[in-house]
Chain A
């Protein structure tokens, strides 16, 4: 069942209608096959899906219209991401990551940088990658070692980034690099276009799920970009990265909610159709209550991300609420997809139904854009910090 939504505007509702049409006709029917092909080949990318979304204007919704964006509040943008996730999780994650990559330019770029870079990023024809994590610097990003050194007016980057979504497929790379030895204060953000000399990619990772999201190492060997590619000021990198993640987490929360909704819909339909002991399995209270808990989990996930989104749209602090939403929604996705496999029984464990794919796709939501332990760190610091003052 499509989720019941109250959209803040008529255009918001029209956007949801458009998204649902594209999901039904273009995304949902293809998701299973492309994911399976990507799993087998290690590297098949939903290029066509992103092109369709881009042409429809769905890859640039939360950015200003003057640069080609949709000028939509997060409340609307995130519900679009949720709808996409209910059809195809990898593509929803890609949509969210792409938004994340434009954030540093939109919020920290100069007018000249915005005018030069944003129209391309928001054209629907480009896809970005967000290069933060490294093999030895995952949760602890301040320990990163990829370096950019000043050479005349240029920056020269050396090092490796790990688990980067869209590696090798992106049109540009929004990179966080060390520009001084000053710990967390020694990081900066650089814009690196695809095709820059010295930029290369390792074999994509073989993963548990989310196969359509190609993930791999990005390797920098004397990658040279001009000084004007520095986004924000030197040393501001960690602030930019964390601010971007506050918003990015909401995208992951919305995607997690959509994934959970898809699993719930599948389980509910199956529970009414599958008969055992002479009646639908859903007629057993033991199973019906499981479905009720799944619905409660999906509804609370949606409520938490929408609450955070509305705070953000109103210009209020929302970092704590974004972490809560990411935590609640990703845990809901894990629980609901696990239970969906259970409702489908043996069929749920086979690839005849998408339940097992939903289950595999869910796990990553508890890990990326800050593990759920890190979300608890963020939340507790806010709560205890507030209590101290």
Chain B
């Protein structure tokens, strides 16, 4: 079984994240980047599937030069090879453009048995790329899988909702997006780190994919960030004075924030 995992290089959520003043796009220069933690679950799931049978895991990313770090981490975890789609014209691309590039790259790789993605990126968190990608590749789509089994030519996934869990079956080839409940991603091992140095990483530009510069980038984006403002500093916590109804007030507070 061959699997392509789409991964994204995102600014480290632990650091001060912001936007570029010049064009209101995400600042990827001033902060440390890493493999989106939600994508680690996708890589892990792909590795487990391949380890249980056979085949190869190819990791694919669209992003600037630094995005190679996300591929490196996935290769260190055990993925077999990587494809990096990068081109200056891609800067500022929105979800439709990103899904176009991913689809073209997957077609060029050769459509695999399964495409696996995380459920969203930890920076944009839109969560729409998997669906767009499935549409472009004309594949059945199973999103938000919290459990995944593949048997012959069928993929079965569990989706956990607020009130019920569904079990969904689709035929292969298919696209699956996975949640952070599906597994416990492994750490790279030292041997994995050493082995990753020898694994193939291909770099493709727009020309390699037959995509026109006008189809991608900030200019082609359907949405645009007009302005941004820093989140106001955290306010002091609310103190509930117990006048005999403390419990009710606490419950109301929690309910207003949808904790209960």
Asked if B193 is at the interface of the complex by the 8 Å CB criterion, the answer is yes
| Bound CA span A55–B184, Å | 14
Pick the contact of B190 from A21, A52, A61 — CB < 8 Å? A61
Could you say which residues of chain A place their CB within 8 Å of the CB of B190? 15, 18, 56-58, 61, 70
Q: Is the CB of A52 within 8 A of B187?
A: yes
* CB proximity of B5 to chain A, nearest CB, Å: 20
Q: Is the C-beta of B211 less than 8 angstroms from some C-beta in chain A?
A: no
Contact code string B174-194 (vs A, CB < 8 Å = 1, else 0): 000000000000111111011
CB neighbours (8 Å) of B194 from chain A are 11
Contact with B along A54-87 (1 / 0, CB 8 A): 0111100100000000100000000000000000
Residue of A nearest to B72 (CB): A14
Chain A residue at minimal CB-CB distance from B191: A57
Q: Is the CB of A15 within 8 A of B193?
A: yes
Residue A49 CB within 8 A of the other chain:
no
What distance in Å separates the Cβ of A83 from its nearest Cβ neighbour in chain B? 14
CB of B193 within 8 A of CB of A14, answer yes
* A379 contacts chain B at the CB level, 8 A cutoff: no
Residue A34 interfacial (CB < 8 Å): no
Bound: A22/B190 CA distance, A: 12
**Total residue contacts A-B, CB cutoff 8 A:** 25
Residue among B187, B189, B190, B193 with the most chain A CB within 10 A? B190
Q: With A and B bound together, what is the CA distance between A58 and B189 in angstroms?
A: 8
- Contact check: which of A18, A52, A61, A70 meets B188 at CB < 8 Å? A18
A55/B186 in contact, CB under 8 A: yes
Interface size bracket, A side: 10 to 19
With CB as the reference atom, state the residue of chain B lying closest to A124. Answer: B189
Which residue on B lies nearest to A80, using beta carbons? B190
Report the separation of the CA atoms of residues A21 and B193 in the bound assembly, to the nearest whole angstrom. Answer: 14
For residue A55, which residue of chain B has the nearest CB? B189
> What is the CA–CA distance of A18 and B76 in the complex, to the nearest angstrom?
10
Interchain CB contact under 8 A, A55 and B193? no
A26 nearest CB neighbor, chain B only: B187
- Chain B contributes a number of interface residues (CB within 8 A of A) equal to 8
- Tell me how far the C-beta of A5 lies from the nearest C-beta in chain B, rounded to whole angstroms: 17
Assembled-state Cα–Cα distance A52/B190 (Å): 12
Query: Which residues of the partner chain A approach B193 to less than 8 Å between Cβ atoms?
Result: 11, 14-15, 18
Nearest chain B CB to A43 CB, angstrom units: 27
Q: In the complex, A21→B32 CA distance in Å?
A: 14
CA distance A56 to B76 in the complex (A): 11
Closest chain B residue to A70 by CB distance?
B190
Q: Quick one: closest B residue to A24, CB to CB?
A: B14
Q: Determine the distance from Cα of A71 to Cα of B190 in the docked complex, in whole angstroms.
A: 11
Which residues of chain B come closer than 8 Å to A70, judged between CB atoms?
190
Shortest beta-carbon distance from B193 to chain A in Å? 5
How far is the CB of B71 from the nearest CB of chain A, in Å?
Answer: 15
Q: Which residues of B contact A57 (CB under 8 A)?
A: 189-191
Mask, B14-35, CB within 8 Å of A = 1, is 0000000000000000000000
Q: Find residues 134-170 in chain B having any chain A CB closer than 8 Å to their own CB.
A: none
Q: Which residues of B contact A55 (CB under 8 A)?
A: 186-187, 189
Interface residues of B in 188-245 (CB under 8 A from A): 188-191, 193-194
- The closest CB in chain A to the CB of B190 belongs to A57
B189 / chain A contacts, CB cutoff of 8 Å: 55-57
Q: How far is the CB of B42 from chain A (nearest CB, A)?
A: 18
CA distance A70 to B189 in the complex (A): 10
Question: Measured between alpha carbons, how far is A296 from B189 in the docked complex, in Å?
Answer: 34
Cβ-neighbour of B187 out of A11, A14, A22, A61 (below 8 A): A22
Q: Nearest residue in B to A68 (C-beta to C-beta)?
A: B191
Chain B residues contacting A52 (CB-CB under 8 Å) are 187
Q: Which residues of A contact B186 (CB under 8 A)?
A: 55
Query: 25 A-B residue contacts at CB 8 Å?
Result: A11-B193, A11-B194, A14-B193, A15-B190, A15-B193, A18-B187, A18-B188, A18-B190, A18-B193, A21-B187, A22-B187, A52-B187, A55-B186, A55-B187, A55-B189, A56-B187, A56-B188, A56-B189, A56-B190, A57-B189, A57-B190, A57-B191, A58-B190, A61-B190, A70-B190
Given contacts A15-B190, A57-B190, A58-B190, 8 further A-B contacts (CB under 8 A): A11-B194, A14-B193, A18-B190, A18-B193, A56-B188, A56-B189, A57-B189, A70-B190
Q: Which 10 A-B pairs have CB atoms at the shortest separation, nearest pair first?
A: A57-B190, A57-B189, A56-B189, A14-B193, A56-B187, A70-B190, A57-B191, A22-B187, A18-B188, A15-B190
